[in-house]
Structure formats: structure tokens, C-alpha cells
Amino acid sequence: MGSSPIVVSFLILSFLVTLSSFAGETEARAFFVFGDSLVDNGNNNYLATTARADAYPYGIDYPTRRPTGRFSNGLNIPDIISEQIGSEPTLPYLSPELTGEKLLVGANFASAGIGILNDTGIQFLNIIRIYKQLEYFQQYQARLSALIGAEGAQELVNQALVLITLGGNDFVNNYYLVPFSARSRQFALPDYVVFLISEYRKVLERLYELGARRVLVTGTGPLGCVPAELAMRSRNGECAVELQRAAALFNPQLVNLINGLNSEIGSDIFVAANALQMNMDFVSNPQAYGFVTSKIACCGQGPYNGIGLCTVASNLCPNRDLYAFWDPFHPSEKANRIIVQQIFTGSNKYMNPMNLSTIMALDSRT
Ligand SMILES: *[C@@H]1O[C@H](CO)[C@@H](O)[C@H](O)[C@H]1NC(C)=O
Ligand SMILES: *[C@@H]1O[C@H](CO)[C@@H](O)[C@H](O)[C@H]1NC(C)=O
């Protein structure tokens, strides 16, 4: 008695359904993002703040060709990491779409304008400061528990990948925001950096307490080399000295902090990404990376297109892939791809104590 074609195709169908639900269980790990405009996927769209990227030409190269709140012409660093780990992009925590199954993908808590310190970015009014982001992470976990149970939620968080990008604004939008800023009167630069690192320690410790077990921590980029600083502080197109000094002081101390925390915990929880070096590669030799310039922003006005904001009235370059900087402060998608490539496969010059490919390989075995 031969099986009818209908029975056979039913069997094949149920086999495929079983396969795909199995694939569902072994889906990409969850991804959580904390920090500032370099990693904000659109939280500020939901806030009464002046730090926003919700108008043309932001998003001009995003798949939808529409602004999303990302400070990029297209994808930003977390989007490209999501893409590489086989995940959907993280939704902003404040998005009404972040419910049900979407919670399993993770969430993005970042908010443009914030820093390590509570007094960083006050001129932007309502932004989600880092302690509030951590509070939202706790709230997220309660919502996740309601969906999949406390044990499942704990497991999802422990196995997740976490990215935190902080620090640049503590210089640009605090210490150096105005001449004789309160913080610059309170601290000499080296002491300010020590203070920032001691405050950052508390943030990272809290993240660990909240269940994070693999945390990529990016240092600051070359703050003095961005088109905004070339326009405002540079004599002849060289990177602004004071901001470069700040980055040079901050980044090695961040690596020390991370090494210290890991050895206290007895595990490689935190991983430092040397964003300064990653950016300096294409800033000092743009042509080698396919850029026509690393000094002039694609979108902006004034010298280096570095003055003011990128708006519909700004100069706009026709091919964003030829520019290292999209706007006066933020890299283009093309530059973000170079950075993420180094996060995944970079040597110890870029990633400490290991790169993300190594992490993914280690974690898939345990
Ligand atoms: C920043 O604010 C949080 C609470 O919102 C507080 O716990 C923390 O101590 C503050 N940090 C500083 C340096 O004042
Ligand atoms: C980084 O990743 C690559 C694999 O892409 C690996 O060959 C290399 O050894 C890693 N480097 C370090 C320092 O872990």
C-alpha cells in the first residue's frame, strides 16, 4: 500500500515545521545596547529632546530610506552587529513595537546626548541617562519574565551579548562644552578622567549585577578629529589637541578598569573595543579604506561641513560610502562597517582580551 502524495507532502511539511521550530529555539542570542548617539536606535524619537535624528537626510541609506532616529546615513554599529550575529536590529526600548516575541531579540536602551555623568548633556533636556537605562533594563527583565518565566529570562540575559558605548559626551558635551565649564573648573583633565573612570566602574558593576555576562565596552573615538572639532578648534585641519589628549588619557584607563573588573570577578565578562585605534586607521589614511576624505562630513555646513547640525538645508554628498563621517560627529555606515569588522576579527591591538568571533566561538561551546 503506497502512501498517497497528500500524506507524503503532509509528512514533509511537518518535518519542515519541526526543523524551523528547532531553528527557532537555537536562534541568535539576545542583544542589549546601552549608551549614547553612536548606538541609539531611536529612543530619543519618543522624548522631548533636541538630540534627535528623526528628519531627512538621516536614514537616507537605511533599508526604508527613512529617518529612524539613528545618527547615521544607514545602519549604525549595533545594527551591523545584529546583522552579523543573525538577529533583527534591536528595537528602541521606548518603541511601542517592543512587546511579546520581540522582547526575545533584546532591546536598545541608548539615548543620544548622554554620558557617564548625570550632568553630561543637560542642554539636550529629556534624555535617558545611564542610570535610567539600567533601570529600564531591570523593567525589561520583569516584562520578559512575565513572557517566558523568571528562569528563562535570567538565562536569556546571562547568555546575551551586551554593548555599551559611553564617554565621548563627557568631554564634548560637558568638560569642553563651553570655556570654563563647571567640570573644567573643578578638575584638571587627568583628574577628570580618573573621576569618569571611577563613575564608569559603578555603571559596569551594576550591569553585571543585572545579569550581563558578555559586555563589549567601546572606548571613545578620536574626539579631536571629527569634522565638528576640525571646524571649531583646529588651526589647519589637524586633529584638535586637547580632545585628542582626553581620548589618549581615557582609553587606556578604561582598559585597566576592564582588566581589573574581570580579574575581580574571575571571568572575562567585559571586553574592551579600542574605538580610538579603529577610527584612527581610516582617519589617518582614508584612501586606504576607500574614502575620499575623513575630514569633511558628508552632511553639514561651514568648514569641513562641521558647523551645526545635519539638516535638510545642509550640504549633502551624493555618495555616502566615500565619506568616513556622515555628519559633524558620527561615522558613516561604511565607517561603522569597518569598526564592526575589527570588533569581530581584530587582533589584541583592537580587542582586549579577545575579539567577538572568539567570544561567539567560546559561548557556543558552553
Ligand atoms: C547619578 O544619578 C543616579 C540616580 O539617578 C545616582 O544613583 C548616582 O549616584 C548619580 N551619580 C553622581 C555622580 O551623582
Ligand atoms: C580574532 O578573530 C580571528 C578570527 O576571525 C582569529 O583568527 C584571531 O586569532 C582573533 N584574534 C584574537 C586576538 O583573538
pLDDT tens column, 127-158: 999 999 999 999 999 999 999 999 999 999 99
Q: How many angstroms is it from 63 CA to the middle of ligand 2? A: 31
pLDDT tens for 262-311 read 999 999 999 999 999 999 999 999 999 999 999 999 999 999 999 999 99
- Using only the alpha carbons of the chain, give its radius of gyration: 22
pLDDT at 80 over 90: yes
DSSP conformation letters of 122-161: GGGBS---HHHHHHHHHHHHHHHHHHH-HHHHHHHHHT-E
Q: Which amino acid is at 191?
A: D
In a domain, 309, yes or no: no
In a domain, 312, yes or no: no
In a domain, 266, yes or no: yes
pLDDT at 78 over 90: yes
Q: How many angstroms is it from 359 CA to the middle of ligand 2? A: 10
The answer, yes or no, to whether any atom of ligand 2 lies below 6 A from the CB of 358, is yes
In a domain, 324, yes or no: no
Q: Quick one: which atom of ligand 1 is closest to the CA of 132?
A: 5
**What total of structural domains would you count in the chain?**
1
Q: How many angstroms is it from 119 CA to the middle of ligand 1? A: 9
Phi and psi based region of residue 86 (left: phi greater than 0; alpha: psi -120 to 50; beta: remaining): left
- pLDDT value, residue 235: 86
pLDDT tens for 185-232 read 999 999 999 999 999 999 999 999 999 999 999 999 999 999 999 999
**H or E element in which residue 35 lies:** strand 31-35
Mutate to test the pocket of ligand 1, among 127, 131, 183 (most ligand atoms within 8 A of CB): 131
Residues serving a catalytic function are 37, 327, 330
- pLDDT value, residue 28: 84
Q: Tell me the mean pLDDT in the region 173-179.
A: 97
What CATH code is carried by the domain that includes residue 92?
3.40.50
Q: Quick one: which atom of ligand 2 is closest to the CA of 351?
A: 13
The answer, yes or no, to whether any atom of ligand 2 lies below 6 A from the CB of 347, is yes
Average pLDDT across the chain, whole number? 93
Q: For residue 295, which of 307, 310, 283, 285 has the smallest C-alpha distance?
A: 283
Banded pLDDT at 366 (limits 50, 70, 90): low
Task: Locate 186 and state its grid cell.
Answer: 573643578
In a domain, 81, yes or no: yes
In a domain, 305, yes or no: no
pLDDT tens for 30-75 read 999 999 999 999 999 999 999 999 999 999 999 999 999 999 999 9
In this structure, are residues 111 and 50 in contact, taking their beta carbons and an 8 Å threshold? no
Q: How many angstroms is it from 345 CA to the middle of ligand 2? A: 5
The answer, yes or no, to whether any atom of ligand 1 lies below 6 A from the CB of 131, is yes
Residue 194 belongs to what domain range?
27-285+333-365
In this structure, are residues 277 and 248 in contact, taking their beta carbons and an 8 Å threshold? no
Q: Tell me the mean pLDDT in the region 332-342.
A: 98
Provide the whole-model pTM: 0.92
Residue 175 per-residue DSSP state: I
In a domain, 297, yes or no: no
In a domain, 200, yes or no: yes
pLDDT at 14 over 70: no
Please tell me the number of the ligand nearest to residue 199's CA. Answer: 1
